[in-house]
Amino acid sequence: DMDCLFCKIVSGDIPATIIKKTELITAFNDITPQAPTHVLIIPNKHFENIGEVSIADSKLTSELFKAAADIASEYGLESYRLNINTGAGAGQSVFHAHLHLLAGRAFAWPPG
């Protein structure tokens, strides 16, 4: 999808601070961090949201979550929040599936 910002990050057409890249997933720093650690983890292939990934590809779904756990472990994070906004009403603004990995400050519950 050549109109998709995150597809362009996967292809390297738009720069990002890449944390991890495999055949299936890419992780990079959020450009507007909402916490001291704010990493986005995305499938290299375009899916509109996590629901579409889950329906299509269980291996890819698990690799996204495994990457989050691996990064949390590598960063030595005791606590972190995984957030997945799905649909504009839930705050999704980039329609290429992504997990937010947030850490390094206290988080409120319930979320805003």
Catalytically active residues, by annotation: 98
Q: What amino acid occupies position 109?
A: W
Interface with ligand AMP, residue 5, by CB under 6 A: yes
Any alpha helices (H) in 1-112, and if so which ranges?
5-11, 50-56, 58-74
**Footprint (CB under 6 A) of ligand AMP, residues 18-47:** 30-32, 40
Q: Mask: binding to Zn ion, 30-69, rule CB under 5 A, as x and -?
A: ----------------x-----------------------
Interface with ligand AMP, residue 85, by CB under 6 A: yes
Angstrom distance (rounded) from CA 73 to CA 36 = 16
Total residues binding ligand AMP (CB under 6 A): 12
Q: What amino acid occupies position 29?
A: N
- Which contiguous run of DSSP H or E holds residue 28? strand 25-29
Interface with Zn ion, residue 96, by CB under 5 A: yes
